[in-house]
Amino acid sequence: MKREQSSTPPFDQGVFLMHLNKGKEHLRQNDLEQAKLELEIALKYRPEEEELLNILGMVYFKLKRYSDAEVLYKKLVKLNPDVFILRSNLGVVLFKQGKVEEAMAHFQRAVDLKPNYLKAHLYLGLIYKKIGKLEKALEHFKFAQADTQVKELENILKEKGEDVKKEESPEITKTFKIQPIEEGKPLKTITDVFQRDTSEILEKIEVSKKEPEKAVEKKFYLHHNGFLEIQSDGKVYVKRSSLRSYVGNFTFEQLLDLKTTSAQEIVLAKGKGKLFLFEKGNQTYLFELNQEFVYVEGSHILALEENLLFRSEPIHDYKNNKTLQTFKIYGKGALALTTHMEPLTLRVTAEYPLTILSSSIVAWTGNLYPIVGQKHLEKEGENSFLIRFEGEGLIIADEEI
């Protein structure tokens, strides 16, 4: 896999990543003060690193250092003015400090960017209620499906002698409804999968029984019999154990950085021609990253384009000496993943974190922060442990065989 290019001197880059990863680990262990110290050191090396700003902003928020969090989120919003989650996060930070008018502007922008974003509607309802605009507050509470707040405001308005319109709440799916995979339209981009409305779900690639289905760009094709066909004009990363045949002259280079990881079977195929991959009993899904990122558990990676960047970011359960080998894959290009069964897409928000077995994780994206769980489940295996995800985002879950 191609390594990330950077203008930062190699030594400085190494020190930066060391402190960044230490900060993440402390956050996963819920050691907020140590996380803050490590991330603040990393910030000195890369003050414009967006991922770092976001993580440190969350740490400040958890420590109730709202003014510090405000500075970071304002910088992030300036760099990414059209990302609704960042607008919402900044709104929450401002709301906590009593800056309701400024918070309202950012929540409203979040709603403009994503009209059915329930969290922003909820906070807009709270703000309008606070400033005495009860009818407007009621409108947003209904949209957010905040039943308790709706009933409370309806009673207040009735006592004032004002008519309450009996309007139905907007037709939107409950926030955390989990649905199975369905056959449907081909996937287009990673955003289509991970950042769609809550009523939508991950869909399996639809293929023809006569011709291979054209999938991501013009290099990856999924046949109806389960074979993945890759047309290579130079380099591509493939899972060696799943390679069944190839047409053309290829050489295969082992990646030393992946040794002892769950992605150690991934090799760099060099050559021009076609490669055919197949995993018996597994299902294959194709994605396209469009300058986006996704975290993937290594054993689920089947193939990816050579121009995609990667970084190993494992999650450690130090207490029980267990590790989930995950990789952050980002950039622009095609990615193929496999699962043992039809997976679920699980939505996570600040109000509803998700606790899941590490063995069930395929991938995730969004502003999510994994924290190693302290409790156990009956089905927890020798190599599995609980992870609690907090923040805003989506997770693809599978069942280990």
| Helices vs. strands in the chain: H and E counts, helices first | 10, 17
CB atoms within 10 A of CB 188: 14
62 in a structural domain: yes
Q: Is the pLDDT of residue 259 over 90?
A: no
In a shared domain, residues 356 and 255: yes
5 in a structural domain: no
Residue where one domain finishes, among candidates 105, 127, 159: 159
In a shared domain, residues 293 and 376: yes
309 in a structural domain: yes
138 in a structural domain: yes
Q: According to the model, what pLDDT value does residue 114 have? A: 82
In a shared domain, residues 215 and 322: yes
Least confident of 23-32, 82-91, 128-137, 179-188: 179-188
Tens of pLDDT, residue by residue over 2-61, are 545 444 444 467 788 888 889 988 888 889 999 999 999 998 888 888 888 888 988 998
Q: According to the model, what pLDDT value does residue 219 have? A: 87
161-170 long-range contacts, CB within 8 A, separation 24+: 162/135, 164/138, 167/142, 169/142, 169/143, 169/145, 170/116, 170/142, 170/143
Confidence band, pLDDT 50/70/90 cuts, at residue 382: low
Residue where one domain finishes, among candidates 159, 190, 222: 159
pTM confidence score: 0.52
Average pLDDT over residues 335-339: 91
Cα–Cα distance, 322 to 146 (Å, whole number): 40
In a shared domain, residues 202 and 117: no
In a shared domain, residues 112 and 221: no
Q: Which domain holds residue 191?
A: 182-397
Tens of pLDDT, residue by residue over 271-324, are 999 999 998 888 888 888 888 889 999 999 999 998 888 878 888 887 778 888
272 in a structural domain: yes
Confidence band, pLDDT 50/70/90 cuts, at residue 362: very high
- 222-260 core/surface letters (b: 16 or more CB in 10 A; e: else): bbeebbbbbbbeeebbbbeebbeebeeebeeeebeebee
Residue where one domain finishes, among candidates 99, 126, 159: 159
In a shared domain, residues 145 and 218: no
Q: According to the model, what pLDDT value does residue 182 have? A: 31
215 in a structural domain: yes
Cα–Cα distance, 214 to 205 (Å, whole number): 10
Q: According to the model, what pLDDT value does residue 163 have? A: 54
In a shared domain, residues 152 and 186: no
Q: Is the pLDDT of residue 159 over 90?
A: no
Confidence band, pLDDT 50/70/90 cuts, at residue 376: low
In a shared domain, residues 99 and 209: no
Decide: 203 and 255 in contact? Cβ < 8 Å. Answer: no
Tens of pLDDT, residue by residue over 212-234, are 444 444 689 888 788 999 999 89
Q: According to the model, what pLDDT value does residue 97 have? A: 93
In a shared domain, residues 318 and 203: yes
Q: According to the model, what pLDDT value does residue 305 have? A: 92
Domains in the chain, number? 2
Q: According to the model, what pLDDT value does residue 15 have? A: 85
Q: According to the model, what pLDDT value does residue 199 have? A: 28
177 in a structural domain: no
Average pLDDT over residues 166-176: 33
CATH number at residue 116: 1.25.40.10
In a shared domain, residues 207 and 264: yes
171 in a structural domain: no
CATH number at residue 347: 3.60.160.10
Q: Is the pLDDT of residue 392 over 60?
A: yes
Cα–Cα distance, 142 to 150 (Å, whole number): 6
Q: Is the pLDDT of residue 337 over 70?
A: yes
In a shared domain, residues 213 and 293: yes
In a shared domain, residues 142 and 94: yes
Average pLDDT over residues 243-253: 93
